[in-house]
C-alpha cells in the first residue's frame, strides 16, 4: 500500500468528514479551507481526487443536481485503511516523545 502524501491525506479526510451526499469538488475545497485554514486551488483538489481515485481510495459518482453537473466522491474501504495506516504511522512516530518537544538553542 502506498503512503499518502500530506495533501492526499487532507483531501481524503475532507471527503470522509463530508459524507457521501455532500462530498463534491466545491464542498471539499471549502472544507479544506475552513478546517485546515489553507487555501487550495480547485485544480489541485481535482488533480488529487483523480489520483486518489486511480489508487482506489475513492469512488466517484456523477449526478445532475439542480441542472448542474456534480461529481460526488465516496471513500472506499481501501481509502479508510490508508487513512488509518497514515494515522498509525504518525502515532508510532510520536509515541514516547515527551511533550512539549524541547527546542534547540533556547534556555528555559
Partner 1 sequence: MTPPPLARRLLRRLLPEEVRDVLLGDLDEEFERLVVPSRSHRRARGWYWSQVIRSLPGVIRLRAQAGRRRSGPNEPVRPGRVLGQFAADFRYGLRRAMHQPSLVATVTLTLALGIGATTSVFALVQIVLLRPLPYDAADRLIAISEVDTRRPNSGGTVSYPDFLDYRAQNSTLVDVVGYSGGSRNVTGIVEQDRVPMTEVTDGFFALLGVRPALGRDFESADMRDQSPPVVIVTDGAWRRRFGADSRVIGRTIGLSGEPTTIVGVLPRDFEFPLRGLAELFLPIRQTDSQRGRRYMHGLDIIGRLRPGVSPDQAAADLDVIARRFASIDPQYHPAARASVMRLADQVVGSVRPILIVLLGAAAFVLLVACANIAGVLVARGASRLYEIAIRSAIGASRGRLIRQLATESLVLAIPGGVVGIILGQWAVRLFVTSIPRAQRAAVPHLTSISIDPVSVAVSVGLVVVSVIAFGVLPACQAARDGDRAALRARGGLDARRVRLQSVFVVAQLALAVVLLAGSGLMSRSVYRLLGTSPGFEPEGLLTARVNPSFADAPRVTAYHQKLLEQIRALPGVTSVATVSQLPLSGSGNSGTFKVVESAGKGEGSIQQESTAAIRTISPGYFAVMSIPVRQGRGLSPEDRRGQPLVVVVNQTLAATVFDGRPLGQHIVFPFFDGRPAWEIVGVVGDEQIASIDRPMSPVVYFPFGQALNGDINLVVRTTADPASQIRSVRAAAASVDPSVPVYSAETMASRLSDSDAVFRRRSVLMLVGSFAIAAVLLAAIGLYGVLAQIVSSRTREIGVRMALGARHAHVARSILARALVPAAAGLGIGLAATVWLSPALETLLFGITPRDWITLGVVSAFLAGVAALACIVPTRRAVRIDPVVALRQL
Residue 75: CB minimum distance to partner 1, A: 18
Q: Which three cell numbers stand for residue 64?
A: 445532475
CA dihedral of 23, 24, 28, 34, whole degrees rounded to 10: -90
Chain residues that interact with partner 1, rule: CB under 8 A? 24-26, 29-30, 41-48, 50-51, 54, 62, 68-71
When the beta carbons of 44 and 80 are compared against partner 1, the nearer one is 44
Residue 77: CB minimum distance to partner 1, A: 19
When the beta carbons of 67 and 100 are compared against partner 1, the nearer one is 67
Residues in the chain: 108
For 4, phi then psi, to 5°, come to: -90, 140
Residue 23: CB minimum distance to partner 1, A: 12
For 57, phi then psi, to 5°, come to: -90, -15
Amino acid at each position: 500500500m502506498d503512503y499518502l502524501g500530506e495533501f492526499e491525506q487532507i483531501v481524503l479526510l475532507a471527503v470522509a468528514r463530508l459524507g457521501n451526499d455532500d462530498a463534491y469538488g466545491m464542498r471539499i475545497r471549502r472544507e479544506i479551507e475552513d478546517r485546515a485554514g489553507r487555501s487550495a486551488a480547485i485544480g489541485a483538489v481535482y488533480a488529487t481526487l483523480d489520483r486518489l481515485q486511480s489508487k482506489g481510495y475513492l469512488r466517484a459518482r456523477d449526478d445532475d443536481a439542480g441542472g448542474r453537473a456534480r461529481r460526488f466522491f465516496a471513500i472506499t474501504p481501501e481509502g479508510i485503511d490508508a487513512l488509518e495506516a497514515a494515522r498509525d504511522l504518525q502515532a508510532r512516530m510520536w509515541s514516547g516523545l515527551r511533550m512539549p518537544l524541547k527546542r534547540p538553542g533556547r534556555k528555559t
